[in-house]
Amino acid sequence: GYLCSTPYSPTREHGVHPLDPALDLPWPDMSEVVLSDKDKAAPLLADAANMGMLPTMERCQEWGLSQQLP
């Protein structure tokens, strides 16, 4: 599972290109890769970071510390 701070909003959804070498994902045989148009259009991880699409570690820690534990 994962934690969401607000309800799902499609306009706020972002992604990164799944075949970005920077992700270093252990994909199986890639001879028949089929990507959705959404995945094909997704930016590389570095580009997403440069566009401000990704939170910094500091921002994640600040947010985590601001949450009350049960």
Q: Using CA atoms, how far apart are residues 47 and 23, in angstroms rounded to an integer? A: 13
Q: What is the pLDDT of residue 27?
A: 87
Q: How confident is the model at residue 70 (pLDDT cuts 50, 70, 90)?
A: low
Q: What is the pLDDT of residue 6?
A: 82
Q: Using CA atoms, how far apart are residues 11 and 69, in angstroms rounded to an integer? A: 29
3-state DSSP percent of the chain in helix, strand and coil, to 5: 40, 0, 60
Token pair for 66: 């601001």
Closest CA to 23 of 5, 46, 41: 46
**Tens-digit pLDDT profile for residues 12-58:** 888 999 999 999 999 888 778 899 999 999 999 999 999 988 888 99
Residue carrying structure tokens 């094909």 = 40
Q: What is the pLDDT of residue 55?
A: 87
